[in-house]
């Protein structure tokens, strides 16, 4: 059983070597532990320090392309190298590498496809900004309700993947992969587990992903909405459609209550027009739901074909 610990990095020359050296090279249930670093176009000596620190694989992008592309690079090289499990951990040392063991145990012992670190269920992450914590909790709750699945932490990058998960997940389309891959995994009925871990945020450190909190919210919202649209199209389009049709029916009933006393339409035509407009818009949403569901069925066939091709390509 081969484990590859993947470290995405951007301008991390100061900490990358110490992070690599802190990763345990002997873990229960695995025969080999390798370290892989994806340098996303760093302008400093991140790649050189990673090699000096003992990384087994160092792959450098020519330019900064974001976590979504880094996830694709991570997956392709890990599968090519025959990984049975891949653990993704941050380069800055905010996670405890000793937690890798409890992240991989459910994959090894119970066949779980993805184990995601949970920063919030048992206690708050140390030094995490209050606004960031509240927004992350809110996003996890909203997505969990929308997917009808419990989601404890939506954005944490510390996670373990089985080979099956890596073969089945789509390439992320956004600037990050954390939210999109969880929604994708739920849509593909992969088994997920959230694991409470210790996290320490560094007060003076600036995030490599979050330039401003509002840009992060905006980008994350677009990714979540798009992924939810693809995974649950009937709910995404159908639920608003049902609400609008219900409002149309209630508005029409109100119109009838106004109409019958004097049997005149003209004084109440605005109510009738509102009812008709709500009906037409609601009907359009239901039609969109049916079309999107057909598209999803076609996409599922395409994704299954891609899965089989990947499985054959990376067959050990």
In 169-232, alpha helices (H): 178-187, 213-231
Do 15 and 133 share a domain, yes or no? yes
Do 175 and 282 share a domain, yes or no? no
pLDDT digits (tens, 9 = 90+) for 237-283: 999 999 999 999 999 999 999 988 888 888 899 999 999 999 999 99
Do 110 and 207 share a domain, yes or no? yes
Q: For 203, which DSSP code?
A: T
> What is the rounded CA–CA span in Å between residue 224 and residue 183?
8
pLDDT over 90 at 165, yes or no: yes
Phi then psi for residue 211, to 5 deg, are -75, -50
Do 140 and 196 share a domain, yes or no? yes
Arithmetic mean of pLDDT, 194-198: 91
**3 state SS of 121:** coil
147 confidence band (pLDDT: 50, 70, 90): confident
Do 163 and 145 share a domain, yes or no? yes
Record the pTM.
Answer: 0.81
Give the residue with greater pLDDT, 138 vs 125: 138
Residue 254 structural domain: 233-313
> What mean pLDDT value characterizes the chain?
89
Domain count, the chain: 2
Do 180 and 288 share a domain, yes or no? no
pLDDT over 80 at 176, yes or no: no
């Amino acid at each position: 059983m081969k484990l590859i610990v993947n470290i995405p990095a951007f301008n991390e020359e100061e900490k990358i070597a110490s992070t690599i050296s802190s990763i345990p090279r002997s873990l229960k249930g695995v025969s080999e532990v390798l370290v892989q670093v994806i340098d996303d176009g760093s302008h400093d000596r991140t790649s050189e320090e990673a090699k000096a620190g003992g990384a087994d694989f160092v792959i450098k992008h020519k330019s900064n392309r974001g976590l979504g592309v880094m996830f694709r690079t991570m997956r392709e090289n890990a599968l090519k190298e025959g990984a049975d499990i891949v653990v993704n951990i941050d380069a800055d040392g905010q996670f405890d590498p000793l937690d890798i063991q409890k992240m991989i145990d459910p994959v090894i012992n119970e066949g779980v496809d993805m184990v995601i670190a949970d920063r919030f269920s048992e206690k708050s992450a140390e030094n995490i900004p209050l606004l960031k914590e509240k927004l992350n909790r809110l996003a996890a709750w909203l997505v969990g309700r929308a997917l009808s699945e419990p989601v404890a932490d939506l954005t944490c990058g510390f996670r373990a993947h089985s080979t099956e998960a890596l073969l089945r997940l789509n390439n992320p389309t956004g600037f990050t992969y954390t939210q999109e891959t969880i929604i994708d995994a739920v849509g593909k009925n992969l088994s997920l587990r959230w694991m409470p871990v210790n996290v320490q945020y560094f007060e003076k450190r600036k995030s490599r992903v979050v330039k401003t909190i509002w840009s992060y919210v905006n980008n994350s919202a677009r990714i979540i909405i798009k992924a939810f649209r693809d995974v649950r199209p009937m709910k995404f389009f159908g639920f608003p459609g049902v609400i609008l049709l219900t409002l149309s029916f209630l508005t029409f009933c109100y119109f009838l209550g106004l109409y019958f006393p004097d049997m005149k339409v003209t004084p109440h035509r605005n109510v009738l027009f509102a009812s008709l407009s709500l009906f037409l818009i609601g009907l359009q949403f239901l039609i969109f739901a049916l079309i999107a569901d057909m598209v999803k069925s076609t996409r599922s066939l395409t994704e299954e074909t891609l899965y089989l091709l990947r499985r054959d390509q990376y067959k050990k």
